[in-house]
Amino acid sequence: MVNGIRTETPTTTAEVAQVLRSAATDGARVLVRGAGTTLHWGGSPSHVDIELDTRGLTGVVAHEPGDLVATVRAGTRLVEFQEALGEAGQRLSLSAGSPEATVGGVLASGETGPLRLRHGAGRDLLIGVEFVRADGVVARSGGRVVKNVAGYDLGKVLCGSYGTLGVITTATFRLHPRPRARAWVVADVPTLSQLDAPLRAAATSTVAPSAVEVDLPGSGDTVATLAVMIEGSPAGVDARCAALQQVLRGSATSTTPPEWWGRYPFGPADVALRLSVGVAALPAAIAQLRSAAGADVPVRGSAGVGVVHATLPGDLSGDALRDTVTTARTGTESAGSVIVLAAPPHLRDSLDLWGPVPGLDLMQRMKAQFDPDGRFVSGRFVGGI
Amino acid sequence: MSASTQVTVLWGPIALAGRPEPSNDQTMRTAAPAPALTRLAGRLRSELGSGSVITDEAARRTYECDGLTHYRSVPALVVLPDDAAGVQAVVRACHELGVPWVARGAGTGLSGGALPVADGVLIVTSRMRRVLELDLVNAVAVVEPGVANLAISQAVAAEGWFYAPDPSSQQVCTIGGNVAENSGGAHCVKYGFTVHHVIGMEVCTPAGELVWLGGRHADPPGYDLRGVFIGSEGTLGVATKVAVRLLRRPEAVVTLLAAFRTVADAGAATSAIIAAGLTPAAAEIMDALAIQAAERAVACDYPAGAGAVLIVELDGPAIEVEQEESTVRDLCQAAGAFEIRVAADSVERAEIWKGRKSAFAAVGRISPDYIVQDGVIPRTALAKVLAEIDALAAAAGIRVANVFHAGDGNLHPLVLYDAAVTGALAAAEEVSGAILDLCVSHGGSITGEHGVGVDKAAKLPRMFGPDDLDTMQLVRCAFDPRGLANPGKVFPTPRLCGEQPRHRSAGDATEAAARRVGIEAW
């Protein structure tokens, strides 16, 4: 018990349900967490009585290599799951910012990784889910086959929901074969304004890259680095990298990723932003953010899908941060979004973390249906949900 | 009285495709509009123009069913809006007057998802066919819901782009219908379904509000309502604008046809291809009976003596496709293929696909009537399930032709029968239903792409428990607490939405009773 907060670590779905039923009896508010690597994302939680730690729900339930499908308990670390899949030459095409991150946490926080360009986000790979509702009822949707349109796909709304609709207990994924070979074509881009052409050329190239990532460190000699991951057969990867090098001037091929690959540009004490725009609008959006911040802030991420992360210093004043975010959002409302993923507690409470949220009214109604008593703590998600 | 109970009575005994039964049952009877509908028709004529509102019975009757012609119900009113504002006007009016409504695209659905409600409005999107925006630098197209699936690819083909989902009805089926059904197609084993390619939609909610779910870019803030709306079969609202992701055409495409003595061999070849780490763009199997039908219908000239053919399409960078082709050839031969053909060009590719694409309709050449089933099994259970289907069919004395997306275990058994023979339909339906039970018992699904609609609503509890279905309907309650959007579809039992029970006056009760028997005059 810390600060009056009780931690529960259920090891089965039935125990999760029991925790929630008792919480309902006691009128206790529950914060759902995995490893906590993204627990500081979103707004400040209103009031927490119970931390429901999912890390007791571990293990691979089923893995059928011939079907390219596996079921895993939500508290299992993603990297551990990947190791198990790797033994069969397969993978889940999803990665997280931290090796500690749990499968359920990655889904609930909506974290994605570089492979998103080719294979989509977590919600695209999740084919079945079991979760516990706020009232302790256990529910499932989807199934164990990739192609399935029976019933509503509740996995979609649980992904990226920050644990506000239910506790994910088990997830079933579609898998992909691990490629036999891979390599990175890396190009330095001398100015931000020169990023657009090579970025779009790479993202839409018929060499079919698996990932197109960008890093703009904001300091030092390098302005921007574009890194393109190619996966396939050994001979195919060689030839495709060579072909891409013809397109990306001054590029080189490496069999190892750049050191920044798959990492966020921010640390836990920084203000973390996510920019999502059309690929062609990305350089201008980055320029606008930097102009708003009055500094070349670090930017990194999945440029090939138009989603990057950016860092603002955590010691900004509240006013300065608010102005920066507001200015960065100006003009992007219809074409993109600028979300404050995380900010130190003293800053986030006076900040609109999300910007405009189309469909917010429907989202509030979803929350009211799934959690009418506000069992899951409010405040972290859009509209104060 | 719930909506679904009302319509159950109206749907009642089924009328058979192409063989209208004598209209002595309630199915063929037109439920005439209640006073609310008379008011509604007048209001919509003034808001949308009289040319957009159809009340003539013969004209309404042309919309009485979708591609699943077993179920028929003439809508009280048909409205053809020109744009999103028109859709909104209809839905808002329905909301205010408490009238149920159903949205319909091209009507190619095979689960009765667009079956009208006899005392409701049918909103047809066929006039909403504009491509609103082609934003190729961002690889996005924004279209109206009535745009045909194939028209999107055609609009961007010259620039080297395409829209990936390709249901076999793609020449006519609409993108709005694809959104409702989360349509797939032969190539979804590699490319995924509608939900992976529609990045946002403007939808009209059952309350008559236009709102964007998702958007033109990834990760808009909040719940992924786009994701749950897609595939909700018109029960959460109707899409009025659709933003789709476009893909670059792959550098190379190879289409290969391998002929086997048995379906089991063709299935084993598919498993070997997947086990080798390949992700074919398509992997389709037809059995002897399906081949026989296709030969009669389109003379596809598949290898003589084939007990099964496997069509494999590979696409991607040329150098990878070349190696994969060689691997696939080897694996097919090892699995017992006695002939392998590779299309040398797009004409030959079309030749190979011709038999497969015509398969459903072609079965009409070998049987007066048939049921198209849609079920999914784990790919590894393929051989076992096909043997069990054979046994089922043999025991019932019924022929079943098998056509399926082998790459993802999506079976389309075609259960053949002759409706002129007493009891044949019932026997065919029993086999068809038993096939779904097989799919579920092997850990699969009752539908891979055709949807639940009205046809399989009663079967959904075979896959999901009461708590699962109750939870899914929480979404319905958030979007449509009164259950006006496509009532009676998907869920066998509507959920009460936890709001104040809808007030019912004595007049309402009379109206409801009249709707049940469909006797009120226009």
Per residue in B73-124, pLDDT (tens digit) is 999 999 999 999 999 999 999 999 999 999 999 999 999 999 999 999 999 9
User: Residue B26: is it exposed, middle or buried by C-beta count within 10 angstroms (0-12/13-18/19+)?
Assistant: middle
Q: Which residues, numbered 474 to 493 in chain B, qualify as contacts with chain A under a Cβ-Cβ cut-off of 8 Å?
A: 474-479, 490
| Nearest residue, CB atoms, A156 vs list B188, B227, B378 | B227
Say what the alpha-carbon torsion angle B284, B290, B293, B294 is, to the nearest 10 degrees.
Answer: 10
In chain A, whose CA is at the least distance from the CA of B273?
A: A66
pLDDT bracket for residue B21 (50, 70, 90): very low
Looking at the predicted structure, is the pLDDT value of residue B504 above 60? no
Q: A315: distance to nearest CA of chain B, Å? A: 25
* Terminal C-alpha separation, chain B: 22
- List, in sequence order, the alpha helices (H) in chain A: 13-26, 78-86, 103-109, 116-119, 122-125, 154-158, 196-203, 234-247, 282-293, 318-329, 345-348, 360-370
Instruction: Provide the token pair at A40.
Output: 């500081």
Q: Which residues, numbered 157 to 176 in chain A, qualify as contacts with chain B under a Cβ-Cβ cut-off of 8 Å?
A: 157, 159-161, 165, 176
Answer whether B380 sits within 8 Å of A67, measured CB to CB: yes
At A2 the pLDDT is: 58
At A4 the pLDDT is: 87
Q: Which of A199, A160, A342 is nearest to A277 (CA)?
A: A199
Residues in Cβ contact with B503 at an 8 Å cutoff, skipping those fewer than 6 apart:
none
B301 — contact with chain A (CB < 8 Å)?
no
| Nearest residue, CB atoms, B248 vs list A68, A204, A276 | A204
Best of B166, B223, B224 to mutate (most A CBs within 10 Å, chain A)? B223
Q: How many Cβ atoms sit within 10 Å of the Cβ of residue A345?
A: 9
- Mean pLDDT across B225-232: 98
Contacts A357 to B, Cβ<8 Å: 220-222
Looking at the predicted structure, is the pLDDT value of residue B282 above 70? yes
Q: A278: distance to nearest CA of chain B, Å? A: 5
At A334 the pLDDT is: 65
Domains and CATH numbers, chain A: 1-178+356-385 (3.30.465.10), 181-254 (3.30.70.3450), 271-353 (3.30.70)
Looking at the predicted structure, is the pLDDT value of residue A298 above 90? yes
Looking at the predicted structure, is the pLDDT value of residue B25 above 80? no
Residue A363: half-sphere exposure toward Cβ, Cα within 13 Å: 26
pLDDT bracket for residue A330 (50, 70, 90): confident
Looking at the predicted structure, is the pLDDT value of residue B26 above 80? no
Contacts A354 to B, Cβ<8 Å: 221-222
- Mean pLDDT across B125-151: 97
CB pairs under 8 A between A and B: 268
A235 — contact with chain B (CB < 8 Å)?
yes
At B360 the pLDDT is: 87
Answer whether A156 sits within 8 Å of B228, measured CB to CB: yes
Residue type, B369: D
Q: A284: distance to nearest CA of chain B, Å? A: 13
Best of A149, A233, A380 to mutate (most B CBs within 10 Å, chain B)? A149
pLDDT bracket for residue B29 (50, 70, 90): very low
If DSSP codes are grouped into helix, strand and coil, which group holds residue B435?
helix
Answer whether B316 sits within 8 Å of A180, measured CB to CB: no
Contact B16, B419 (CB under 8 A): yes
Looking at the predicted structure, is the pLDDT value of residue A288 above 50? yes
Answer whether A141 sits within 8 Å of B468, measured CB to CB: yes
Q: B102: distance to nearest CA of chain A, Å? A: 18
Residue A276 φ then ψ, to 5°: -125, 115
Instruction: Provide the token pair at B225.
Output: 């309502």
Answer whether A157 sits within 8 Å of B223, measured CB to CB: yes
Contacts B220 to A, Cβ<8 Å: 276, 337, 357-358
Q: Which residues, numbered 1 to 30 in chain A, qualify as contacts with chain B under a Cβ-Cβ cut-off of 8 Å?
A: none
B224 — contact with chain A (CB < 8 Å)?
yes
- Tens digit of each residue's pLDDT (9 = 90 or more) over B303-333: 999 999 999 999 999 999 999 999 999 999 9
Answer whether B317 sits within 8 Å of A240, measured CB to CB: yes
Contacts B472 to A, Cβ<8 Å: 139, 141, 151-152, 154
B327 — contact with chain A (CB < 8 Å)?
no
Looking at the predicted structure, is the pLDDT value of residue B1 above 80? no
If DSSP codes are grouped into helix, strand and coil, which group holds residue B106?
coil
Looking at the predicted structure, is the pLDDT value of residue A267 above 80? yes
B314 — contact with chain A (CB < 8 Å)?
no
Give dist(CA A152, CA A165) in Å, integer: 15
Give dist(CA B213, CA A220) in Å, integer: 41
Answer whether B195 sits within 8 Å of A146, measured CB to CB: no
Percent with pLDDT over 70 in chain A: 98
Contact A126, A139 (CB under 8 A): no
pLDDT bracket for residue B497 (50, 70, 90): confident
Contacts B464 to A, Cβ<8 Å: 140-141, 150-151
B188 — contact with chain A (CB < 8 Å)?
yes
At B14 the pLDDT is: 32
pLDDT bracket for residue B165 (50, 70, 90): very high
Instruction: Provide the token pair at B91.
Output: 């839905």
Contacts A365 to B, Cβ<8 Å: 478-479
| Nearest residue, CB atoms, A149 vs list B224, B379, B448 | B448
Percent with pLDDT over 90 in chain B: 84
Sheet holding A126-132: strands in order across? A60-64, A69-73, A167-174, A126-132, A138-142
Q: B492: distance to nearest CA of chain A, Å? A: 11
pLDDT bracket for residue B10 (50, 70, 90): very low
Q: Which residue has the tokens 């089923």?
A: A62
pLDDT bracket for residue B516 (50, 70, 90): very low
Contacts B205 to A, Cβ<8 Å: 362
Answer whether B227 sits within 8 Å of A153, measured CB to CB: yes
Answer whether B445 sits within 8 Å of A152, measured CB to CB: no
Report pTM.
0.93
Answer whether A150 sits within 8 Å of B224, measured CB to CB: no
At B24 the pLDDT is: 34
- Tens digit of each residue's pLDDT (9 = 90 or more) over A211-229: 999 999 999 999 999 999 9
At B234 the pLDDT is: 98
| Nearest residue, CB atoms, B217 vs list A150, A239, A336 | A336
Q: B316: distance to nearest CA of chain A, Å? A: 7
Answer whether A334 sits within 8 Å of B216, measured CB to CB: yes
A246 — contact with chain B (CB < 8 Å)?
no
At A331 the pLDDT is: 75
| Nearest residue, CB atoms, A337 vs list B140, B221, B490 | B221
Least confident stretch, A328-337, A366-375, B459-468, B492-501: B492-501
pLDDT bracket for residue A333 (50, 70, 90): low
Contacts A123 to B, Cβ<8 Å: 224, 227
- Tens digit of each residue's pLDDT (9 = 90 or more) over A84-111: 999 999 999 999 999 999 999 999 999 9
Answer whether B498 sits within 8 Å of A153, measured CB to CB: no
Q: Which residues, numbered 378 to 407 in chain B, qualify as contacts with chain A under a Cβ-Cβ cut-off of 8 Å?
A: 378-380, 405
Give dist(CA B61, CA A317) in Å, integer: 67
Answer whether B193 sits within 8 Å of A141, measured CB to CB: no
Looking at the predicted structure, is the pLDDT value of residue B340 above 50? yes
- Tens digit of each residue's pLDDT (9 = 90 or more) over B409-445: 999 999 999 999 999 999 999 999 999 999 999 999 9
| Nearest residue, CB atoms, A147 vs list B140, B410, B474 | B410
Looking at the predicted structure, is the pLDDT value of residue A141 above 90? yes
Going by the DSSP 8-state scheme, the letter that residue B365 receives in this structure is G
- Tens digit of each residue's pLDDT (9 = 90 or more) over A181-214: 999 999 999 999 999 999 999 999 999 999 999 9
Least confident stretch, A129-138, A286-295, B2-11, B244-253: B2-11
Q: A203: distance to nearest CA of chain B, Å? A: 10
Residue A179 φ then ψ, to 5°: -70, 150
Q: What is the mean pLDDT of chain A?
A: 96
If DSSP codes are grouped into helix, strand and coil, which group holds residue A46?
coil
A120 — contact with chain B (CB < 8 Å)?
yes
Cite the beta strand spans of B215-368 per DSSP E: 238-245, 247-248, 252-260, 282-287, 308-316, 339-342
Looking at the predicted structure, is the pLDDT value of residue A309 above 70? yes
Q: B68: distance to nearest CA of chain A, Å? A: 17
Least confident stretch, A343-347, B133-137, B508-512: B508-512
pLDDT bracket for residue B33 (50, 70, 90): low
